[in-house]
Amino acid sequence: MGLVEDVSNRTGISASFFGITLISWAGNVGDSINASMATKAKKVDLLTTGILASQIMNLQICLGVPWIIAMINNKIENKGQLLIDFDKENVVKLFIPLIFVVLISVLIIFAFSRVLNKNSGFCLIIVYLVYFVYESFNSKKVE
């Protein structure tokens, strides 16, 4: 955690954003290995199913479980109110970039006739980098 905080202090970008990014990168190592093996075996259906299924599970578990725990904690602390408090966060501002990235990624895959090659991979990496830079600037630490 010290490294994340050090990078956060030096760049002014929030430590939570760096932490989540590092967890995402580390969590995708298994998916990358599975994707590599499926690609070598020329099993496109296994490749796409594995990647999409793991992301669906991430959404359901990584969003669902913490939100349920937060709602239970809020109900206990707030005398029966079952809610998640986003405080002053603009929820639309949080989700619109994600939806945009997903839509652009799907369009890229279809633009290349659902063929994963160097060009489509390069385009997907560019989309990720643009999203990473956007989120880096929007997650500046509030002093």
Residues 94-104 have pLDDT tens digits of 778 888 988 99
In the predicted model, what is the mean pLDDT of residues 65-92?
A: 70
For residue 108, name the pLDDT band (cuts at 50, 70, 90). very high
Tokens of 120: 């489509």
Distance CA 46, CA 143 (A): 46
Diameter of the chain measured on Cα atoms? 56
Tokens of 30: 């298994």
Kindly list the domain boundaries of the chain, sorted by start residue: 1-85, 86-143
Residues 8-45 have pLDDT tens digits of 788 777 777 777 777 777 767 777 787 788 888 888 77
